[in-house]
């Protein structure tokens, strides 16, 4: 008994195999007219019975039933010969079955509305030993009935006359999927119909893509305050002391979509500063006869400002993903806040030998965009009123936008930082009797939280 070919496949034209059986009597003579059939134990196909000819040869046909499976394997059964006296003789038969597989993988199984992702479809045969061989030049059917109306699937390679994709030399088809505007599960059915009864027995693969905004809400709460003094003395010439305080607050809420990078930021900002400058020493006057005289100048200033921002759009500007966690830009927050405020200055000047005091006041209203925060305190300046800013003397090594994961869908970073500076130096050494002293302190409290919506 022989089987030709030794294996069948669900591919077109390879469904059947011929089973040749030779029947001889116990004396070795060919037996004609004997019916040979299967015992019915085949599981993947059907066997058509045959009858021996004058040479004692019968041909049976094994036909693969694709509806019973497309995977590789084998089908084992026995053929039966009924001899004289109804005696039965059996012979085992094993038919190898090659499989055809259709796989589909998606680069990003979860995307945002209007976002795109790549789909790779592979069609290949699998022999009885498990070896794979790509099937090139085969047309696949994209069934889009389960997709939303505005979702698109675009073949990136060869197509047939109907626009359906054709497998390349590697047995692959590459597709571009573009999501619609809805949040929903999108399902694409892909079929290889060149098997069995075509569409009814088609080999299929499914791609499921979740279209959903992967959104986080990131909040920043930042408060700091500081005081400082600046004292400059030059023996017999100048004695000046500046004292100032400031407070600063910033609160923001950014909604960020992880996959598209789209952001919307709403924020508020507030700033206040006040200070005095008390100067005694050499001063210039408008008199041509007395160009420099001793005098006093007492200066007082106040500055305050408020800013607001509503749903400002950006892309991965405030929030990003780094090192497996979220990163929030702080140095500075890169979304400018439109800020309005006012500044007031009053000054009293007295010259030695000149009676009376000169008094003047200046007021200024302003409107400008401010980029808030930074690696130093009081990083924003509302003019040139801070004559001796303390920002150059403070450093905060803990300021970082890299958040810590605090839960399965939450991130945070919190810190409290204080610093103080007490510094005195003689800028010209012993050549001039000049001394500069700087004293100041500040405190910062900041909390950054990110929660998945």
> What mean pLDDT is predicted for residues 297-317?
92
- The residue count of the chain comes to 453
> What mean pLDDT is predicted for residues 427-444?
85
Rounded to an integer, what distance in angstroms lies between the CA atom of residue 46 and that of residue 62?
Answer: 6
Owner of token pair 């390679």 = 157
> What mean pLDDT is predicted for residues 102-107?
96
* Residue of 416, 76, 395, 413 lying closest to 219 (CA atoms): 413
Q: Is the pLDDT of residue 387 over 50?
A: no
Q: Is the pLDDT of residue 156 over 90?
A: yes
Which range is least confidently modeled, 20-29, 88-97, 369-378, 409-418? 369-378
Rounded to an integer, what distance in angstroms lies between the CA atom of residue 221 and that of residue 444?
Answer: 11
- For the chain, the structural domain boundaries read 2-97, 100-211, 215-275+305-341+368-452
pLDDT averaged over every residue in the chain: 86
Q: Look at residue 241 in the predicted model and tell me its pLDDT.
A: 94
Q: Which residues contact 324 (CB under 8 A, 6 or more apart)?
A: none
pLDDT band at 20 (very low <50, low <70, confident <90, very high): very high
How would you class 335 by CB atoms within 10 Å of its CB: exposed for 0-12, middle for 13-18, buried for 19 or more?
buried
pLDDT above 90 covers a percentage of the chain that reads: 51
pLDDT band at 176 (very low <50, low <70, confident <90, very high): very high
Within 10 Å of residue 281's Cβ, how many Cβ atoms? 17
Which range is least confidently modeled, 106-115, 150-159, 243-252, 398-407? 398-407
For residues 276 and 298, the answer to whether their CB atoms sit within 8 Å is yes
* Residue of 218, 318, 220, 216 lying closest to 258 (CA atoms): 216
> What mean pLDDT is predicted for residues 310-325?
89
Q: Is the pLDDT of residue 78 over 60?
A: yes
Within 10 Å of residue 90's Cβ, how many Cβ atoms? 10
Q: Look at residue 390 in the predicted model and tell me its pLDDT.
A: 37
Q: Look at residue 214 in the predicted model and tell me its pLDDT.
A: 82
Give the chain's radius of gyration (CA, Å). Answer: 43
Q: Is the pLDDT of residue 394 over 50?
A: no
Rounded to an integer, what distance in angstroms lies between the CA atom of residue 340 and that of residue 363?
Answer: 14
Owner of token pair 């066997």 = 47
Distances (CA, A) of 6 to 2, 57, 73, 160, 189: 8, 19, 12, 34, 33
Rounded to an integer, what distance in angstroms lies between the CA atom of residue 18 and that of residue 168?
Answer: 33
For residues 47 and 26, which has the higher predicted lDDT (pLDDT)? 47
For residues 1 and 48, which has the higher predicted lDDT (pLDDT)? 48
For residues 230 and 266, the answer to whether their CB atoms sit within 8 Å is no
CATH class of 2-97: mainly beta
Distances (CA, A) of 106 to 3, 148, 205, 361: 41, 18, 12, 70
Q: Look at residue 388 in the predicted model and tell me its pLDDT.
A: 34
Q: Given CATH 1.10.3720.10, say whether it is the number of domain 100-211.
A: no
Q: Is the pLDDT of residue 164 over 60?
A: yes
For residues 372 and 280, which has the higher predicted lDDT (pLDDT)? 280
For residues 53 and 59, the answer to whether their CB atoms sit within 8 Å is no
How would you class 439 by CB atoms within 10 Å of its CB: exposed for 0-12, middle for 13-18, buried for 19 or more?
middle
Rounded to an integer, what distance in angstroms lies between the CA atom of residue 296 and that of residue 283?
Answer: 8
For residues 399 and 22, which has the higher predicted lDDT (pLDDT)? 22
Q: Pairing between strand 99-106 and 16-22?
A: unpaired
pTM: 0.56
Q: Is the pLDDT of residue 441 over 80?
A: yes
Question: 361 in helix, strand or coil?
Answer: strand
For residues 417 and 426, the answer to whether their CB atoms sit within 8 Å is no
- Token output for 238: 């100048």
How would you class 251 by CB atoms within 10 Å of its CB: exposed for 0-12, middle for 13-18, buried for 19 or more?
middle
For residues 224 and 116, which has the higher predicted lDDT (pLDDT)? 116
Q: Look at residue 246 in the predicted model and tell me its pLDDT.
A: 86
Owner of token pair 């405190």 = 443
How would you class 354 by CB atoms within 10 Å of its CB: exposed for 0-12, middle for 13-18, buried for 19 or more?
middle
Domains 2-97 and 100-211 share a fold: yes
Question: 398 in helix, strand or coil?
Answer: coil
Q: Which residues contact 1 (CB under 8 A, 6 or more apart)?
A: 19, 20, 21, 22, 79, 91, 93
Q: Look at residue 104 in the predicted model and tell me its pLDDT.
A: 97
Q: Look at residue 312 in the predicted model and tell me its pLDDT.
A: 93
Q: Look at residue 290 in the predicted model and tell me its pLDDT.
A: 55
């Amino acid at each position: 008994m022989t089987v030709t070919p030794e294996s069948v496949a669900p591919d077109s034209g390879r469904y059947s195999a011929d089973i040749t059986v030779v029947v001889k009597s116990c004396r070795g003579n060919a037996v004609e007219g004997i019916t040979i059939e299967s015992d019915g134990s085949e599981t993947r196909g059907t066997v058509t019975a045959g009858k021996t000819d004058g040479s004692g040869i019968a041909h049976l046909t094994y036909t693969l039933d694709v509806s019973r499976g497309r995977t590789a394997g084998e089908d084992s059964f026995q053929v039966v010969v009924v001899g004289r006296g109804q005696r039965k003789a059996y012979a085992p038969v094993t038919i190898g079955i090659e499989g055809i597989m259709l796989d589909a993988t998606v680069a990003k199984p979860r995307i945002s509305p209007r976002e795109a992702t790549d789909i790779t479809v592979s069609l290949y045969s699998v022999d009885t030993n498990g070896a794979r061989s790509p099937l090139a030049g085969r047309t696949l059917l994209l069934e889009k009935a389960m997709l939303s109306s505005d979702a698109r699937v675009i073949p990136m390679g060869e197509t047939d006359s109907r626009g359906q994709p054709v497998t390349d030399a590697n047995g692959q088809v590459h597709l571009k999927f573009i999501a619609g505007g809805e949040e929903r599960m999108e399902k694409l059915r892909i079929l290889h119909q060149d098997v069995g009864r075509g569409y009814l027995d088609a080999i299929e693969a499914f791609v499921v893509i979740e279209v959903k905004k992967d959104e986080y809400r990131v909040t920043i709460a930042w408060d700091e305050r500081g005081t400082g003094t600046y004292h400059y003395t030059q023996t017999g010439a100048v004695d000046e002391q500046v004292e100032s305080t400031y407070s600063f607050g910033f609160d923001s809420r950014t909604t960020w979509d992880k996959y598209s990078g789209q952001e919307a930021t709403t924020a508020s900002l507030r700033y206040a500063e006040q200070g005095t400058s008390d100067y005694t020493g050499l001063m210039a006057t408008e008199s041509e006869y007395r160009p420099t005289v001793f005098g006093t100048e007492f200066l007082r200033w106040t500055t305050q400002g408020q800013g607001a921002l509503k749903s400002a759009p950006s892309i991965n500007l405030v929030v990003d993903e780094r090192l497996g966690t979220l990163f929030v830009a702080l140095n500075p927050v890169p979304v400018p806040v439109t800020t309005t405020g006012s500044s007031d200055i009053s000054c009293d000047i007295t010259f030695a030998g000149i009676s009376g005091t000169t008094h003047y006041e200046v007021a200024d209203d302003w409107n400008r965009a401010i980029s808030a925060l930074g690696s130093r305190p009081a990083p924003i300046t509302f003019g040139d009123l801070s004559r001796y800013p303390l920002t150059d003397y403070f450093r905060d090594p803990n300021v970082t936008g890299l958040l810590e994961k605090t839960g399965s869908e939450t991130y945070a970073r919190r810190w409290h930082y204080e610093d103080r500076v007490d510094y005195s130096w003689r800028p010209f050494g012993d050549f001039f009797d000049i001394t500069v002293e700087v004293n100041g302190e500040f405190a910062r409290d900041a909390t950054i939280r990110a929660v998945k919506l």
